[in-house]
Structure formats: structure tokens, C-alpha cells
Amino acid sequence: MLIANTLLVWLIRPGHWEAALLIAWSWSLVEWGGILLLFCWADERITILTKKVEKIRHAEAPAHVLLSHHDPFYQLALQINYLQTHQRKVQRQIAGQNQEFATLLDYLPIGVMVIDRYRKVELANPAMEQFLQHRISPRRHPFTRDVNQFELASLINSALSERKTQHQVLKLPGSPNERTVDVQAIYTATSQDYFQVLVLLYDVTEVYAVEQMQLDFVSNASHELKTPVTAISGFAKTLLAGAKDDPVKSVEFLKIIDQQSDRLVELINDVLTISHIESGNAVEIEDVPVGQQIASQVHLLGPLAAVNQVALVNQVPDDFVVATDQRKLDQIIKNVVSNAIKYNRPQGRVTISAQKTAQEWSLVVADTGIGISPQDQLRVFERFYRAETSHSNQRVNGSGLGLAIVRELVRALNGKLDLQSQLGTGTTVTLRFPVQQPLTE
């Protein structure tokens, strides 16, 4: 206070006004200089923080801005640093999700394609390329460049034009055979102006094949059942109408009824066997003397072989023992050997042999019969299928299910089946099974 009064007294003295003005002007310069320095300092901080935000926006990774706790911009810098840390975490999560999504698409067996409202492909996975048999560019392009099948292209175009999900089952050309494909073109919209169509392709070839096989099975079974039933009914009515009074005719008709009854029983038993196998019944593994099993079947099939004038030769020793399901093996031997007898020639031969290695054992049934054509070899294991025998003028009886049963039983025992045949020479059926089988307790 004393200094201020002294200065005031000094300033009001005559001749000191110039000094007062100089002092005032000097203080103004100092104040403005301080303000200017403050603005420069603040501008530097703002520039640093602005550049950091720009780098964050461009997905760069700048170092954190470190300021003193007393700095006015400390809280702002701290929040920007927190924002950067959170952004990095979100980016890592998004990158991980994108990688998972890409991996899922790559290994998904369903064909996937995303088409935008401009009819351009945004995304397609490898399965879609396999369906279309065409390499799809990762760059956006019209979907018609990839989709050449008319019905599929029309379905996608309808979904885009009508803005409505479409669904249809189509046939697509494939290698080596065409495929049955369930197609869904799913319309999705996030707004009135932006929408996409998600195209999904499911291969249902096997499903439709199984359905067709089931339909064929019912149709063929009905046809096969109709023949013996009609014969039995017809000859029974004939007997009732008066033929029973004729001893010769009655015996003849009764023999036919007996034969057709046996055929009907055989057919029903085979159908039940197929159904039993498909139900997934358990495999009962035990040590089985294969030589003795074959000898037993040879004895049971002896009358059939005698009627067809075919010799049965069992080359499997009695001490040939393997771990397998005895009942299933019996059915396999019976069906394969009986088939070899039926499709043989008079004075023919059926030879049964077996071998064993450290990994597998095999059963071989070779005949000197009429043989099977290459076309029939592809289908002999189908249900109710009978190989063409016109070239031998030979009629073969049976349900047509024998080899189909063999195939299913071999699969149940984890085995493999091979057929080699030549017309006029004969057929060789080789059955291979693993030596190591889990024994039931």
C-alpha cells in the first residue's frame, strides 16, 4: 500500500506524465503478450489432440497424449486416450468376428450368395462356387455373370423385382451327374431404399434319392407280392370251382400254390430282414468258425445246388476263426452262395475260399455261371433288381432282395464288397472285413 501511494504521488508531479504513459503502454504489451502466449499454448494442445483424433478416425494407432494433471486439457486428453483404447478393443472384436464369419462361410456346405439392390454380388462362399461350377470374383459384379442356369437366375430376379422371398427345388448340372438343389432367395430390407437378397443353396440330391428309393421299394414290393398272391388266389378258386375233383389237376395246382406260398414267405422274410437291418440293430461280435458256418450253409443249399446241377466246393478250413456277428455272416453266406447257384449253368461250380491278413480277412465266392453284363453290375445290389438273363435263356426265381441284403449286412460289419464278372465266364464276389472287431461283453 505504501508503494502504491508513493507511486501515485510520483505520477502526479509535473513532468512525470510521459513516464506514466510509457509505463501503462509497457503493461499493456505485457498483458497482450501473455494472452498471445496463452493462445499459442492452447493452440498447440488443440493441434496435438486434433491430430490424434484424426489418426484414430483413420484406424491408426498413435501414442497416448500425456499431459500434467494441472493442464486444462488433461481431462480431454484422458477421454481421448480412453476412446482410443476402447476403439482398439472393438476393432479386435470385429476382426475376430469377421474371421470367424469368413471361416464359417468357407467351410459351410450350403451355397451362400448376397446380392444388393443393384443386382450385384456382394459376397459368395466356396460352396456356391461348387454349385455354380464357376469362380466368383470378390469384386462387386452383376450376379448374372455367375448364375447361368435359367431357372435359378429367374428365381433370384423374382426375389429382387418383387421384393419377396422365393423358394424352389431345382436341378443343377453337375459333374458327373446333375444335382437336386433346394433354393431359397431370401429378401431382407433394413430400410425402404436399401435391401439385399440372400441366396441359399442346399444339396438335397441324396434326400430325394432316398425318397425315390423308398417309393420304388413300395412299388416293387407291391408288384412282387401281387404275383404269388394272385397265383395262390387264382388256383385256389380254380380248385373250388371243380378242379379238385380231377386228381391230376388238383395235385398240379396244389404244387403251384405250395411253390407260390414259399415264394411269398421268402419275399416277406427278405423285406423284414431289410427293415430289421435299417432299424440299426446291434452287432453281436463273437469268435466264429467260418469254415464250419460255410459247411453248414453248403449242406442247407445242397438241394438247390442239386436241382441246378451245380457243385459246391468249400475250401475254407474248419479252424478258420474270425471275430464277427454269426447271424449276419450266415445271412451273407446264404444269399451270396444261393445267388451263385441260381445264376450258374448246368455242371457248373461254386467255389468258396477265405484268406486272412493282419488287418483284414476276406471271403471269396466264385462261380462258373452265366456272368453279369457291365450295365447290370452297376445295379445288382439294388432292391428288387434282377440281372438280365435273356442271353442264357435261363429263368431265375427269387425276391430280388438277396444281394441288397448282403450289401446292408456287409456295411453293418464295417466291410467292403467287390464284384467282378464277365458274361459267359462267371462271377466272383469278394467280401472284406476288418480283423479287429469290438467284442460284446
Q: Is the pLDDT of residue 51 over 50?
A: yes
Cβ-Cβ contacts under 8 Å for 5 (sequence gap 6 or more): none
pLDDT band at 92 (very low <50, low <70, confident <90, very high): confident
Q: Give me the mean pLDDT over the 92-98 stretch.
A: 78
Instruction: Respond yes or no on whether the N-terminal peptide bond of residue 176 is cis (omega within 30° of 0).
Output: yes
CB 315 within 8 A of CB 294: no
Q: Give me the mean pLDDT over the 22-46 stretch.
A: 54
Q: Residues of the chain with pLDDT > 90: what percent? A: 26
Q: Give me the mean pLDDT over the 278-287 stretch.
A: 76
pLDDT at 441: 45
User: What does the block give as the cell for 156?
Assistant: 433370384
Locate all alpha helices (DSSP H) within 108-189, ordered by sequence: 126-132, 150-162
Cα–Cα distance for residue pair 260/237, rounded to 1 Å: 15
3-state secondary structure of 170: strand
Span 214-253, pLDDT tens digits? 777 677 677 667 777 888 888 888 888 887 788 888 888 8
Cell numbers 441260381 correspond to 342
CA contacts within 13 A on the Cβ side of 10: 10
Q: Is the pLDDT of residue 138 over 80?
A: yes
Residue with more model confidence, 58 or 372: 372
Cα–Cα distance for residue pair 119/158, rounded to 1 Å: 11
Span 147-174, pLDDT tens digits? 989 999 999 999 999 999 999 999 988 7
Cα–Cα distance for residue pair 310/208, rounded to 1 Å: 42
Q: Is the pLDDT of residue 342 over 90?
A: no
Cα–Cα distance for residue pair 323/435, rounded to 1 Å: 7
Q: Residues of the chain with pLDDT > 70: what percent? A: 78
Span 391-441, pLDDT tens digits? 444 555 556 677 888 888 888 888 998 989 888 889 999 999 998 765 544
For the ranges 79-83, 96-100, 154-158, 316-320, the maximum mean pLDDT occurs at 154-158
pLDDT band at 388 (very low <50, low <70, confident <90, very high): low
Could you give all domains of the chain from N- to C-terminal order, each with its CATH number? 22-94 (no CATH), 108-203 (3.30.450.20), 212-277 (1.10.287.130), 283-434 (3.30.565.10)
pLDDT at 223: 67
Q: What is the mean pLDDT of the chain?
A: 80
* 88 to 77, 98, 211, 440: CA distances (angstroms): 17, 15, 53, 58
182 strand-pairing partners: 169, 202
pLDDT band at 55 (very low <50, low <70, confident <90, very high): confident
For the ranges 37-41, 75-79, 151-155, 420-424, the maximum mean pLDDT occurs at 151-155
pLDDT at 390: 46
pLDDT at 58: 66
Q: Is the pLDDT of residue 178 over 50?
A: yes
> What DSSP designation does 55 have?
H
